[in-house]
Amino acid sequence: MSPTGDIREKVRERASFRCEFCCVTETDAGGELTIDHFRPVSRGGDDSSGNLIYCCVRCNQYKLDYWPESDGGTMLWNPRLENSDCHFLELDDGRLYPLSETGSLTLRRLRLNRPPLVAARLRRRRDTDKVRLLRQYQNLTETLEQLLSQQAELMREQQRLLKKQHKLIKLLLGI
């Protein structure tokens, strides 16, 4: 299926313009991604919004028409229904580690630890860290500006008090 118009735009927006499996963005891919059926039509899936997944060409190719052969078979991770951290742990080196059978199957089937994805996760992490550090720097700068402003006000108050003190000393000494 190749949804058009409103349906396609709603699926793209819902996915924040990124692959719902591997998080590659349209910007990273250099164009729009594909719309896939989570449960393939050939396996009983439909064209409902809840069954449509926005994904990159690679994830779409690797997924193909996968669906468990039996009712109790292992499912692929459905990003429409569950958060990724239920099934994957991102390691320090950018690779994903499976936390469940579903996670293990999804990692293997979609090859979510392919080198370009690992590099993209590391880049996103560095970018996130940069943004976090910039926010902290901005907060520290704002705090420093507030402290400097308070310090300037205290110095003005100190000058006023010193002038009053000087006048009182002159009065007491009769100068």
Question: In this structure, are residues 85 and 47 in contact, taking their beta carbons and an 8 Å threshold?
Answer: no
Question: In this structure, are residues 67 and 39 in contact, taking their beta carbons and an 8 Å threshold?
Answer: yes
Question: In this structure, are residues 59 and 21 in contact, taking their beta carbons and an 8 Å threshold?
Answer: yes
Confidence band, pLDDT 50/70/90 cuts, at residue 31: very high
Confidence band, pLDDT 50/70/90 cuts, at residue 107: very high
Confidence band, pLDDT 50/70/90 cuts, at residue 42: very high
pLDDT for position 112 = 98
Which residue in 85, 87, 25, 88 sits closest to 55, CA to CA? 25
Against a cut of 0.85, is the pTM above it?
no
pLDDT for position 117 = 96
Over residues 158-168, mean pLDDT: 95
Radius of gyration of the chain (CA): 29
Question: In this structure, are residues 66 and 76 in contact, taking their beta carbons and an 8 Å threshold?
Answer: yes
